[in-house]
Amino acid sequence: MSMSHERGPRIPFQPAARLPDAAFEILAPEGRELRLFSACVEQLATGLQWAEGPVWFGDGRYLLVSDIPNDRILRWDDCSGAVSVFRQPSGNANGHARDAQGRLVSCEHLGRRVTRTEFDGRVTVLADRYDGKPLNSPNDITCGPDGGIWFTDPDFGIHGDWEGAPATREQLHGVYRIAPDTGELTRVLDDLAGPNGLAFTPDGKRLLVVESRAQPHRLIWSYAVDGATLSDKRLLIDAQGYGALDGIALDTQGRIWCGFGGGGQPDADPAQLDGVRVYSAEGKPLAHIHLPERCANLCFGGAKGNRLFMASSHSLYALYVNARGAVR
């Protein structure tokens, strides 16, 4: 179903009429096993200003997704297909995750904070300052194997009024961890330009972080995790100028599913790069899911964990794949 909007007309989304869906491009032989022959890309909702941060609630069979400039979180219902407003205002919420108890944890640009929604609906602030100064604009978030909350903090939400409010940056771009027992906030990284999407490997031993403003190419780094300490920094993926990497999700085999868009390479059509790029656990490109809009973030969900939800510019898309999301 679609949300109403007042912008000009767009070309309507057309699901594939022929199988297999040509939107699923195979880039390496190993990518072929990820495609389901009779599964097609679906558009679940449209009319958003900038879709971000999808998170699946299997216990309620619904998905939440941020619409940042419209200052709202939307809810898509798996049973009815209905789209409704979950929260508005949302503090220009961006990324979401569930903590170890299943509660919603969110990155909010406007308040420059990370919050937790309690089971009774109250909102608790988990972090909004570090070393006495405001955070920049928390962006993406995940829960670690020990229950710690990890999030990235670039300054995208304080550039203007579109996704937050203009403000002077007082912190380095960083990655942070909120301790599960004490709530202590630790900055674990401060040397990445525009840290963005982040996710743990299925065994919980390594953390992947997207450096979305790295020059000349967007990068994904891999780190060994020991409590609140990161070490053994390894370059896992170099987008090589073609891809603008954003949010990421990992499946049970450690494959990396990346929100992707055109990177400005002069000999490439940016529109042909919009969608999701799939890499092996070692960083080899395996497949590309082409979408009519640039994909910002994504998550796995559905009854069997094999449905990929893709928050993409103005719309929410879904595709069943032959992989299951890593449980985290």
Closest to 225 measured CA to CA, from 144, 292, 130, 163 = 144
pLDDT digits (tens, 9 = 90+) for 236-286: 999 987 778 999 999 999 999 999 987 656 666 777 889 999 999 999 999
Cβ atoms of 294 and 310 within 8 Å: the answer is: no
pLDDT digits (tens, 9 = 90+) for 38-48: 999 999 999 99
How high is the mean pLDDT of the chain? 94
pLDDT digits (tens, 9 = 90+) for 128-160: 999 999 999 999 999 999 999 999 999 999 999
Q: Please report, for residues 4, 21, 57, 191, 314, the alpha-carbon distance to residue 67 in angstroms, rounded to integers and kept in the order given.
A: 13, 28, 18, 29, 9
Q: Mean pLDDT throughout 54-71?
A: 98
Closest to 310 measured CA to CA, from 292, 324, 327 = 292
Closest to 69 measured CA to CA, from 44, 89, 45 = 89
Beta-carbon count within 10 A of 252 CB: 14
As a whole number of Å, the end-to-end CA separation of the chain is 29
Closest to 309 measured CA to CA, from 66, 109, 140 = 66
Largest CA distance in the chain: 58
Q: What is the 3-state secondary structure (H, E, C) of 234-290?
A: EEEEECCCCECCCCEEEECCCCEEEEECECCCCCCCHHHHCEEEEECCCCCEEEEEE
- Read out DSSP for 95-141? EEEE-TTS-EEEEETTTTEEEEE-TTS-EEEEESEETTEE------E
Q: Please report, for residues 159, 223, 228, 247, 259, the alpha-carbon distance to residue 299 in angstroms, rounded to integers and kept in the order given.
A: 27, 21, 24, 9, 10
Name which of 166-170, 258-262, 290-294, 306-310 the model is least confident about.
258-262
> What's the pLDDT band for 5 if we cut at 50, 70, 90?
very low
Residue 113 scores a pLDDT above 80: yes
Q: How many residues does the chain have?
A: 328
| Domains contained in the chain, CATH given | 49-260 (2.120.10.30)
Q: Which tokens go with 109?
A: 């640009």
- What pLDDT shows up at residue 272? 82
Cβ atoms of 197 and 259 within 8 Å: the answer is: yes
Cβ atoms of 51 and 93 within 8 Å: the answer is: no
Q: Which tokens go with 206?
A: 């390594």
Q: Which tokens go with 50?
A: 């900038």
Cβ within 8 Å of residue 98, ≥6 positions away: 55, 57, 104, 105, 143
